[in-house]
């Protein structure tokens, strides 16, 4: 970057974020968090990370270290809807593994979710499916969060109903 080329709108916005956080405690984390929120698909593009490294002087490998450590950061575009299945002990005993499998069947991505722990976005970018270790809502197990709303005592039937609401495509029951 020789400084003469005009920066894209996204990179200009990132510059603003970097200026805001400069010198503050936990500078890099703050910058990365806001940079991700700026992005429509809720992820950190390589271009954005390059820019953050260039402007802050933090080594690229260090930036990569941070964004891969925290599960909050995404390196791939996220789906329009976010489904989070709790895989904590209480939810597990109440059958959360089966719920994850159900989601795989309903959305046709069973193979990708096979190992019981997941972070997957459907190819049409409609859904991102992820797991967490515990929501802290064990009394309501099993719980599934969809777009930030936590649903309790979820069964296959309720899952189907919930997902149907969002989906443009036909969901087989």
Partner 1 sequence: MDSKMVSVRINGSEYSVPSGATILDACKRAGISVPTLCFLQDVAKNASCGVCLVEVKGAKSLVRSCTACVRDGIEIITNSARIRDARKTNVELLLANHPKECLSCVRNQNCELQEIAAELGVMHDRFVQTKKKMEWDTTSLSLVRDPNKCILCGRCIAVCGTVQTVHAISLSNRGIKTRVSTYMEKGLGNVACTNCGQCALVCPTAAIVERDDTDEVFEELLNPDKVVVVQTAPAIRVGIGEAMGMAPGSLVTGQMVAGLRRLGFKKVFDTQFTADLTIVEEAHELVQRLTNKGALPMITSCSPGWTKFAEHFFPDALAHLSTCKSPQQMFGALAKTYYAAKLNIDPRKMVVVSVMPCTAKKYEARRPEMMSAFEHWKEKRAWSADDAFYDVDYVLTTRELSRMFKESGIQFASLPAEEFDHPLGESTGAAVIFGATGGVMEAALRTAYEVVTGKTLTDINFVALRGMDGIKEAEVDLNGKKLKVAVAHTLGNARKLMEQIERGESPYAFIEVMTCPGGCLGGGGQPIPTTWEIRKKRAESLYAEDLGKTIRKSHENPQIIALYKESLKTPLGDLSHHPLHTSYQKRGLFVWKTNGHRKKEPVSTK
Neighbours of 2 (CB within 10 A): 4
Position among 4, 6, 61, 172 found at the interface with partner 1 (CB under 8 A): 61
- Binding track over 69-98 against partner 1, x by CB under 8 A: x-----x-----------------------
Please choose, out of 54-62, 87-95, 97-105, 162-170, the segment that lies near partner 1 by the rule CB under 8 A: 54-62
Q: Cβ closer to partner 1: 53 or 105?
A: 53
**What is the DSSP annotation of 116-145?**
S--EEE-TTSSEEEEEES--S-GGG-S-EE
Question: What gap in Å lies between CA 95 and CA 90, rounded to an integer?
Answer: 9
- Of the candidates 38, 32, 37, 41, the one whose C-alpha atom is nearest the C-alpha of residue 121 is 41
Asked if 53 is part of the footprint of partner 1 (rule: CB under 8 A), the reply reads yes
Position among 8, 12, 65, 89 found at the interface with partner 1 (CB under 8 A): 65
Q: Residue 4 CA to chain centroid, in angstroms?
A: 35
Please choose, out of 26-34, 57-65, 95-103, 152-160, the segment that lies near partner 1 by the rule CB under 8 A: 57-65
DSSP H helices in the chain: 9-21, 27-38, 46-56, 60-69, 89-93, 96-107, 156-166
Q: Which residue has the tokens 């974020």?
A: 17
Q: Cβ closer to partner 1: 63 or 145?
A: 63
Q: Cβ closer to partner 1: 69 or 168?
A: 69
Asked if 56 is part of the footprint of partner 1 (rule: CB under 8 A), the reply reads no
Which residues of this protein are in contact with partner 1, per CB under 8 A?
Answer: 46, 49-50, 53-54, 59-65, 68-69, 75
């Amino acid at each position: 970057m020789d400084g003469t080329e005009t920066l894209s709108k996204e990179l200009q916005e990132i510059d603003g974020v970097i200026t805001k956080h400069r010198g503050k405690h936990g500078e890099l984390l703050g910058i990365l968090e806001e940079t991700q929120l700026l992005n429509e698909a809720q992820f950190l593009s390589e271009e954005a990370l390059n820019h953050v490294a260039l402007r802050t002087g933090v080594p690229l490998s260090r930036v990569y270290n941070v964004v891969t450590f925290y599960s909050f950061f995404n390196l791939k575009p996220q789906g329009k809807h976010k489904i989070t299945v709790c895989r904590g002990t209480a939810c597990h005993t109440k059958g959360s593994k089966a719920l994850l499998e159900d989601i795989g069947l309903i959305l046709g991505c069973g193979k990708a979710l096979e190992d019981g722990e997941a972070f997957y976005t459907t190819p049409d970018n409609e859904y991102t499916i992820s797991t967490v270790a515990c929501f802290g809502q064990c009394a309501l197990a099993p719980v599934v969060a969809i777009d930030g709303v936590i649903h309790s005592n979820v069964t296959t039937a309720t899952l189907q109903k919930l997902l149907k609401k969002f989906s443009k495509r036909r969901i087989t029951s």
